Amino acid sequence: MLTACLPQLSLAEIASWAGAAGYQALEVAAWPRTGGRDFEAAHLPVTGFDDRAADETRALLGRHGLDISALAYYENNLHPDPGRRAEIHTHLKAVVDVAQALDVPYVGTFVGRDWTRPVAHNLDEAQKVFPELVEYAGERGVRIIIENCVMEGWHPDGYPGNLAYSPELWEWMFSLGLYLNWDPSHLTWIGIDPVTTIAPYADKIVHAQAKDLQILPGKADRYGFFGKAVRREDPWDTGWWRYRVPGRGQVDWNAVVDALYENGFTGTLSVEHEDPVWSGTEEKVKTGLEIAHRTLRPLIVA
């Protein structure tokens, strides 16, 4: 499970609960403690992380029978503000350093987008930005993985804010040395059958996120594909779909897990909880995580 859904808890508190709930691994959120994304889940002290911190973290996970599958810092690596972009890259490298110290193979992030410039410009810019980041990680035995989230809320008009949302863009980013943290929920709402994307890219899907998605009946007929335009107070509220925990949406998890196994996937399937029905309190979030575990556990080969 991705720890970002419980930003108010410490890693020790999350590990204790997750181990008891039957989870086997944590995808640990590693945002800085100030600035960045809205939830600011900072479950590892990235700045100043030393050998003692590494030993304590390993011991903590060991007590609860857990591994770390990846570290998570999902930010806009093509941010239009040069100063903010530099901050993001600096923190991303620090997260890579922590991954190396803990023998964690992956660090997850976004390609992102400069929303003031056309897509073609962004693709050119990414080819300048990412090789150095990929090389930095590679020298430390870490791979950078990209989630295929659309991040429409980053764009002023709700257009894609992360240029990694489709197989066309995956092929482009693979050429930069990036890998995929595959998530079926985002594919579902943009009209791509997630199961069909597994076999062609199986060798690049090294980590996967388990998040579901619910299409709200009749709402797309009012708002259209791009979602609310007139009263869109929340940039993430399209008005016609919402994220759900696995088992409460429209993703066919039997087909997803079967296709992953059939195509040789040996990585981690990590629950990403962004379900508004099971949010608002710590108790509700944990219940959502329990629902996800009950849904997926019978499908996973022991």
Cα 22–chain centre separation: 21
pLDDT at 38: 46
H/E stretch holding 212: strand 212-215
CA distance 261 to 188: 20
11-20 vs 51-63: helix axis angle to the nearest 10?
A: 20
* Calpha distance 211→172 (Å, rounded): 24
Helix axes 167-174, 119-138, angle to 10 degrees: 50
What is the rounded distance in angstroms from the CA atom of residue 173 to the CA atom of residue 171?
A: 6
Q: Residue 255 belongs to what H/E stretch?
A: helix 253-262
Q: Which residues of the chain have pLDDT under 70?
A: 34-40
Q: 93-105 pLDDT, tens per residue?
A: 999 999 999 999 9
Closest-CA residue to 110 (of 134, 144, 143, 81): 144
**pTM: predicted TM-score of the whole model, two decimal places:** 0.95
Structural domain for 164, as ranges: 3-209+251-299
Which residues face 208 on adjacent strands?
182, 269
- Give long-range contacts, CB 8 A cutoff, 24+ apart: 286-293: 286/6, 286/17, 286/21, 288/5, 288/245, 289/1, 289/5, 289/18, 289/21, 289/23, 289/245, 290/21, 291/245, 291/246, 291/247, 291/248, 292/1, 292/210, 292/245, 292/246, 292/247, 293/21, 293/22, 293/23
In this structure, the number of other CB atoms found within 10 A of the CB of residue 6 comes to 23
Rounded distance between C-alpha atoms, residue 144 and residue 131, angstroms: 11
What pLDDT shows up at residue 34? 67
226 located within any domain: no
Q: Please report whether residue 86 resides in a domain.
A: yes
For residue 185, is it within any domain? yes
pLDDT of 46 reads 93
Number of domains in the chain: 1
Position 179 in a domain: yes
Determine, yes or no, domain membership for 215. no
In a domain, 63, yes or no: yes
**Does residue 148 contact residue 37 with C-beta atoms inside 8 Å?**
no
- Give domain status of residue 158, yes or no: yes
Amino acid 30: pLDDT: 97
**The CATH number of the domain where 279 resides is what?**
3.20.20.150
What is the bridge-based pairing of β-strands 205-210 and 212-215? unpaired
User: What is the spatial distance between Cα 11 and Cα 17, in angstroms, rounded to a whole number?
Assistant: 10
* End-to-end CA separation in angstroms for the chain: 17
> Does 237 fall in a domain?
no
